Structure 1
Amino acid sequence: MKARLLLHDLPKAARQPVLRQSSALCFRIKHGRPKVLLVTTRKSRRWIIPKGWLIPGLSPQETALQEAWEEAGVSGRINGARLGQFLHHKHHSDRPPSLCLVDVFPVHVSTVSQEYPEKTERWRKWFSPKKAALKVDSHELAELLRDFKPYSH
């Protein structure tokens, strides 16, 4: 499990309440090589993995699967334990940013749908893990992507 930046390492002035999110590192194997799915954020069109707030009544793993469906139109199964975590600043239009600790779960994709809830709000694209790591802004998420091995967890 990887968590590169520990909360107690932050300067006191930077500390704020930490909220939890769950995310799906969606992957498939194509020609013997892993491909991971990135989606864009709704507003700034930055590349990320599907993620969101924990859903009441669902486990973090089930939340990750739900986010994968809503944001990327994919279904699959969690392939092993949590891969790791990364910190993320969630920006809001009506209040200061929130610091989020995001759990990352590997999702082996079995179905890709052409119709899904956020189709008109996001783009999705498959990348090699190394290319995906170059597309995301988070250094911690990039490291998880670079180190991703689909059958090692």
Structure 2
Amino acid sequence: MLREFFNLWNPRVDSAPGLRQSGAVPYVVRDGKVVFLLVTSRRTGRWIFPKGSVSTGMTAWDSAAKEAFEEAGVTGVIGTESLGSYRISDKGQLVDVDLYPLLVEDQLDSWDEMDQRKRHWVLPGEAKRLLRDRALTRITDRLHRQLMADLVTTQ
């Protein structure tokens, strides 16, 4: 029960250097539907979004775009405002990961980590099923609702 509490409770706090990461939520909108790109983690094989440490001299969102390029082989337009964050345990340390939306414009046939990860495009329902972390599903839901609302207002 205590573990569940800490998994769900995630205030935005200033983390020590190295204890905050950034990640991208890659997506496209096709035929009025939002589709998300998931990758597998190297260690456990679970479905996640591309993420990693913020590179020195880069903004968190540019670093997130770099992770998406390296881990999923995609490029596009990265948002500069965080969708939210979630908390992971990495080598016994709690690490907060800020996620940024990435509108995918190009998908490469080969990329840096293609031999270490799988990538998979999913509709929101399948994303909910595959993502084990509830914070990730909440962030995915929030982005999906926002994108659908934007579609309605632009039509």
Matches of 1:29 and 1:80, distance apart in 2 = 19
C-alpha RMSD over aligned residues: 2.2
- Counterpart for residue 65 of structure 1: 65
Question: 1:148 aligns to what SS in structure 2?
Answer: helix
TM-score, normalised relative to structure 2: 0.81
Aligned to 2:104: 109
Amino acid at match of 2:74: V
- Deviation track 1:53-111 (CA, whole Å, cap 9, x = no partner) reads 11001100100000000000000011452111111112x4xxxx221111010000000
The residue aligned with 2:41 is: 41
Partner of 2:153: none
Q: Provide runs of 4+ in structure 1 moved above 4 Å.
A: none
Gapped runs of 5+ residues in structure 2? 1-7, 151-155
Q: Which one of the candidate residues 119, 141, 145 is aligned to 2:140?
A: 145
For 1:44, the aligned partner's letter is T
Q: Following the alignment from structure 1 to structure 2, what is the Cα–Cα distance between the partners of residues 124 and 33?
A: 19
The structure whose residues are more often helix, as a share, is: 2
Give the percent of matched residue pairs that are identical in Structure 1 and Structure 2.
30
Q: Identify which range, 134-143 or 113-122, moves more after superposition.
A: 134-143
State the TM-score, normalizing by the size of structure 1: 0.82
Match of 2:3 in 1: none
Counterpart code for 1:30: R
8 A Cα contact 1:130 1:145, kept in partner: no
User: Residues of 2 paired with 1:111 and 1:143: CA distance?
Assistant: 26
The alignment partner of 1:37 has SS state of strand
